[in-house]
């Protein structure tokens, strides 16, 4: 008998499965002596979940990729922290949250209301690991459905975070979602990452991820889609901060190649 939460039914390659990979990588990184992100909640979650994480570790190449996921999350955490410091009454929409514990990792001002949003199957699993509390709610809905936004207060600054999400949506879905967000909120910031378009072709071929998903080499195209969105900056994966020497040297070398350095790019917009 095990008192772990049973995730063994999560199908390899399914929507729910994609979040287990990033969770696992954050958990690995948090167990290092000097982590960049140190997401202890991820490690605790992995310890509570019954799933073949050894296989996941081999598939995700955790030896090196734990740092990519940690550096990406760290940059988004830093941007989010900066926004929340300036807007302690904000609402946060954490879209495609998976099993990410960002709401608990950040030091949130007491006036912030946080909404973790993911598809219903994922939120059902998420509720087995995390509980709602004051100022923290989970919403089970595809972000492409319009209805879920109706429950979010619209009279406060909004911070929208979409990490590892837009590469699963079509361009039309991303455009409509961004339009709905800027129609609903008077001001805010949008933080997300994007892959080049060719990756969705490959994903489609290997039946992982979404065929025809949105991708771009320059997300400033969002300004042309939606004039309310203003580009602020592009994130930097600070590979020099990787605490283990072999991996640091590897990434310092690989990141000399622009295609590698710009593979998963982080963006910050305001509206």
Ligand X SMILES: C[S@@+](CC[C@H](N)C(=O)[O-])C[C@H]1O[C@@H](n2cnc3c(N)ncnc32)[C@H](O)[C@@H]1O
Q: Which is nearer to ligand X, 157 or 164 (CB)?
A: 164
- Is there binding between residue 15 and ligand X (CB under 6 A)? yes
Q: Which residue has the tokens 């296989």?
A: 55
Contact stretch for ligand X (CB under 6 A) within 14-22, 44-52, 57-65, 260-268: 14-22
3-class SS shares of the chain: helix, strand, coil, % to 5: 45, 15, 35
Q: What does the block give as tokens for 15? A: 């929507």
| String of DSSP letters for 124-145 | HHHHHH---BTTEEEEES-TTS
Q: Which of residues 199-228 bind ligand X (CB under 6 A)?
A: none
Should residue 68 be labelled a site residue for ligand X when binding is judged by CB under 6 A? no
Verify binding: residue 170, ligand X, rule CB under 6 A.
no
What's the min distance (Å) between Cβ of 142 and ligand X? Answer: 4
18 near ligand X, rule: CB under 6 A: yes
CA distance 168 to 4: 29
Bridge partners, 158 (sequence order)? 91, 188
Q: Which is nearer to ligand X, 35 or 96 (CB)?
A: 96
| 43's tokens | 């490690």
Burial 78-89 (b: 16+ CB within 10 A, else e): ebbeebbeebee
230, 208 contact by CB (below 8 A): no
Q: Of 86 and 211, which has the nearer Cβ to ligand X?
A: 211
22 touches ligand X (CB under 6 A): yes
User: Binding mask 115-144 vs ligand X (x if CB under 6 A, - otherwise)?
Assistant: ---xx--x-------------------xxx
Q: Are 210 and 167 in contact (CB under 8 A)?
A: yes
Based on the shown chain and the rule CB under 6 A, indicate whether residue 176 belongs to the binding site for ligand X. Answer: no
Which residues sit at the interface with ligand X, rule CB under 6 A?
Answer: 15, 18-19, 22-23, 96-98, 100, 118-119, 122, 142-144, 163-165, 168-169
């Amino acid at each position: 008998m095990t008192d772990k939460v049973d995730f063994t039914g999560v199908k390899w390659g399914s929507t729910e499965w994609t979040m287990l990979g990033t969770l696992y990588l954050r958990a690995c990184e948090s167990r290092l002596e000097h982590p960049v992100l140190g997401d202890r909640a991820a490690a605790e979650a992995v310890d509570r979940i019954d799933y073949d994480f050894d296989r996941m570790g081999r598939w995700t190449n955790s030896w090196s990729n734990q740092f990519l996921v940690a550096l990406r999350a760290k940059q988004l955490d830093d941007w989010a922290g900066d926004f929340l410091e300036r807007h302690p009454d904000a609402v946060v929409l954490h879209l495609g949250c998976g099993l990410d514990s960002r709401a608990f990792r950040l030091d949130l001002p007491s006036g912030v209301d946080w909404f973790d949003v993911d598809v219903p199957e994922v939120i059902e699993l998420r509720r087995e690991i995390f509980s709602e509390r004051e100022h923290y709610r989970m919403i089970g809905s595809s972000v492409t459905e319009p209805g879920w936004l109706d429950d979010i207060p619209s009279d406060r600054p909004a911070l929208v975070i979409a990490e590892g999400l837009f590469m699963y949506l079509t361009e039309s879905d991303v455009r409509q979602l961004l339009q709905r967000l800027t129609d609903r909120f008077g001001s805010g910031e949008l933080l997300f990452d994007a892959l080049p378009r060719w990756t969705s072709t490959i994903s489609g071929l290997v039946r992982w991820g979404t065929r025809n998903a949105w991708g771009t080499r320059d997300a400033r195209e969002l300004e042309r889609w939606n004039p309310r969105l203003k580009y602020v900056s592009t994130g930097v994966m600070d590979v020099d901060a990787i605490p283990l020497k072999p991996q640091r040297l590897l990434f310092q070398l690989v990141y000399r190649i622009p295609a590698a350095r710009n593979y998963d790019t982080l963006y910050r917009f305001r509206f």
